[in-house]
Homo-oligomer: A and B are copies of this chain.
Amino acid sequence: MTASKEILLSAYPVGMPTSDTFTIRDGAPAKAPAGGVALKLLWLSVDPYLRGRMSQAKSYAQPFEPGKPIYSGGVAEVTESDNPKFPVGSLVMGIMNWAHEQGHSGEGLTKLDPALGWGKTLSPSLSVGALGMPGFTAWVGLNIHGRPVKGETIVVSAATGAVGSMVCQMAKRKGLRVVGVAGGAEKCAYAVEVLGCDACVDHKDPELKAKLREACPNGVDIYFENVAGVTFDAVFPLLNDFSRIPVCGMISVYNATQAPEGPDRFPGFWRAVLTKRISVRGFIVFDHAEKQGEFLKEIAPLVAAGEITTRETVTEGLENAPAAFLSLMTGSNFGKAVVKVV
């Protein structure tokens, strides 16, 4: 095993983060605190939303602190335990520091239930991906806030991403016309051929607006918002009366440092909300924890059976986690980004 390391936030980045945003240093050996556990980290999730924690701007989450560890969803093996819920040798998932070893209070940890097939039909990494926060986010946004009806049209931005790829597949199973938006021909082909989208439009295409209109002959009933920016602008005129916009993320504006120049799009948006009776709802998956069991019961068997496809981009080595995160910010990743720690 490599020497134990941990990764800290150096300082809040202004605009796009860089490798200087992170500091790697030697970690201390971990001990289980009273009532808690000591963990050996196996998998880490890297997600665009972490950008929001690298800032003191008001957000739904506490910001990271400069000089303190970065943390995100992870899977670990319990190496020492003062809590009977998490025996030594069991697999747990939850929010974990970017560190090979760590003591953990146990709060928020979930033991991966071997009966579901974890470690056998289901890779533990899926507990931070298709069957973890991103998959659950897709399920909550689509079902609770999107309120899909068979025969409707949904546009899914970042369609091949960790959340979007699950939205596409779940919406298709519910009988919707599913139109993806993704960056580049390879991702678009994947959206149609693997995820089952009825069409997929490249957001880098200068004809984005016209092509999206063509792909949505009956307008748009649900816009699953992951990106904002030009994709939103292309969807906006296509929104139908009573359409719903679950607002899940907006990667295109995370790195903005000031309000962009005009014209001011807000009044036109506001007018459309009224005249088309649009529902907009920002949501964070953590607000819906009580539904997680229902989600797993419905979706885990479909993933285990291969009826829902998952794709991971695996980066090996904890020390490469910052690079894995940075590649999310520029859209060069494909599939759920995870780090295989060991």
In the complex, how many residues of chain A place their beta carbon closer than 8 angstroms to a beta carbon of chain B? 41
Complex interface: chain B residues within 8 A of A122 (CB): none
Q: Does A294 interact with chain B (Cβ within 8 Å)?
A: no
- In contact, B253 and A270 (Cβ under 8 angstroms): yes
Asked if B279 and A280 make an inter-chain contact with CB atoms under 8 angstroms apart, the answer reads yes
- 8 A Cβ contacts from A228-255 to B: 228, 232, 241, 247-250, 253
Stretch at the interface among A65-73, A259-267, A329-337: A259-267
**A147 in contact (CB, < 8 A):** no
* Interchain CB contact under 8 A, A283 and B287: no
- Contact residues in B for A232 (Cβ distance below 8 Å): 270
User: With the chains together, A228 CA to B241 CA distance in Å?
Assistant: 21
* Chain A positions 281-327 with a Cβ under 8 Å from a chain B Cβ: 281-284, 287
| CA A119 to CA B58, docked complex, whole Å | 55
A278: interface (CB < 8 Å) = yes
- Are A253 and B282 touching (Cβ within 8 A)? no
A275 at the interface (CB under 8 A from B): yes
| A250 and B270 contact, Cβ closer than 8 Å, known pairs A262-B262, A264-B262 | yes
Contacts of A247 in B (CB 8 A): 270, 273-274
Q: How far is the CA of A260 from the CA of B270 in the complex (A)?
A: 13
Which of B241, B248, B264, B273 makes the CB contact (< 8 A) with A260? B264
Give the residues in chain B near A264, CB-CB below 8 Å. Answer: 259-266
Q: Cβ of A269: which chain B residues have Cβ within 8 Å of it?
A: 266, 269
A149–B110 Cα distance when bound, in Å, is: 33
Q: How many angstroms from the CA of A279 to the CA of B280 in the assembled complex? A: 6
Assembly CA distance A247 to B267 (angstroms): 12
Please tell me if the beta carbons of B253 and A267 are within 8 angstroms of each other in the complex. yes
B262:A60 contact, CB within 8 angstroms = no
Determine the distance from Cα of A60 to Cα of B241 in the docked complex, in whole angstroms: 9
Assuming the contacts A262-B264, A266-B264, asked whether A271 and B253 have C-beta atoms less than 8 A apart, the reply is yes
A150 interface residue (CB < 8 Å to B): no
30 contacts between A and B (CB under 8 A): A60-B274, A228-B267, A228-B270, A232-B270, A247-B273, A249-B274, A250-B270, A250-B271, A250-B274, A253-B267, A253-B270, A259-B262, A259-B265, A259-B267, A260-B262, A262-B262, A265-B265, A269-B269, A272-B282, A274-B283, A274-B284, A275-B282, A277-B281, A277-B284, A277-B287, A278-B280, A278-B282, A279-B279, A279-B281, A280-B280
